[in-house]
Structure 1
Amino acid sequence: MIKENKFSKYLLYAIGEIILVVIGILIALSLNGWKEDRIKHNEELQTLRQLREEFNANLVQLDEKISMRTAMVNAGVMLLKYHDAPSIIIPDSVVVYLARTTVAPTFDPITNDLISGGRLYLIQNLELRSKLSKWPSDLVQVTEEETAWIFILRNNYLPFLYQQYPIRNINAAKWNRLDVVQTLLLDKTNKTPNLFSSSKEPVDVEAFLANPKLADQLSTVVSSSLFAKTQSESLRKSIITILTLIDTELKK
């Protein structure tokens, strides 16, 4: 074409070839980008499904612990009422209430490596991403209260009860008459047998309940349990929000 003085046609032809090459490259890049986006989207969906399963399991466990904390608060309050008003004491109920105050419910959630593994970027919903990144710190608020109660239970409350009340009776009530032990077991279907009974020695329930030091101990039980229960209920709201956001994303 150049020899035949058709330079303009040659130039147009060259430009056309370049344009075709560029278009081919853009299409290839577009297809590759679409493929990568699709892979990321599938990874996000898989992660969301896993998170939904984990947080549903966490919710079930947390509800059990909240129920136990509620029972502890109610038991402590009733024992304080017995202390303040001896005329309303129901003797057979005392040991059951005491047994309820000696448990140590702990929330042990399933944890995902989304944050520690640096995979939080997979979550496109910014609100959900923010809630998930905040989850570990929210969890600490609950576990700190649980740890504080375990310390009080082992170092203050139980030693006091060992000196003031037959622990055998409390343990017998815990294993033979309460549902809290069943809740704590890994296997919820495991029915534990009645291995031992209460002591035959008489217990002066009224004298025990009149002890002012008992009232102090019970007030600590109620306060600690109520604080842990309140923190757990706040954590429950976070779980519900996370599950709602996850479901919204999965329905898109």
Structure 2
Amino acid sequence: MFRTIFWFTYFWLYKLYSLILLAKVNRLIKNGKDRQAEQLVHEIAKKWARSLIKHTGSTVEVYGLENIPAGNVLFVSNHQGNFDIPLLIGYIDKPKGFIAKIELKKIPIISTWMRKINCVFIDRSNLRESMKAIIESVKLLKQGKSMVLFPEGTRSKSNKLGSFKPGGIKSAVKAQVPIVPVTINGSYRILEHNKFFIKPARIKIVISEPIYVNKLTKEERDNLPNRLREIIAANLDHRY
């Protein structure tokens, strides 16, 4: 109980403090220093994300960082729990936005920072809005931004792997950027496994070799969701 209270207190206090940092970012943008602003946003987001994980008492092991190519990519990851976003921001050192559920757009301050890191909000209950989000993610990928997609569409809250929705994966095909499969093990044990009390967990992140979509045949592109699911499933460790 104490850890949960401490974590949420820290979360809200840092969120308020981040308004000062946000003002600094906005000043850089106003002065035309967009690149410096982007770098500062990345550094702030990474530091905050790591601190959120640290204060859960969890340990994180990351394997396969050498598999991330230079340049922008689409990370495709399984989605076990609410801590997956800070895990990927904090422990994969490449600026990245997320194709995130529309509900996150309603959270004050957090949604502002998500826009700063080039997140796209997707309403999966609305086909037209979903297509708009995919088009926006393609645009960002073509502009040289990296993105993260959770193709299950929702948290599994377990070490099980759901079916993959193909929509977001098509954005990498259209933008012709590499896809990097990521497997997260154990993140659901921080919160979802404990009736929403925060507890320490062992987390293992496995980054697989990239798939270069520009080298795939049409048949291989059509089979991408299945192939990505197989790669991620192969790295699921049920000890976590």
Question: TM-score range with shorter-chain normalisation?
Answer: under 0.3
Which structure's relative contact order is higher, taking Cα pairs within 8 Å and 6+ residues apart?
A: 1
Structure having the higher strand fraction is 2
TM-score normalised by length of structure 2: 0.24
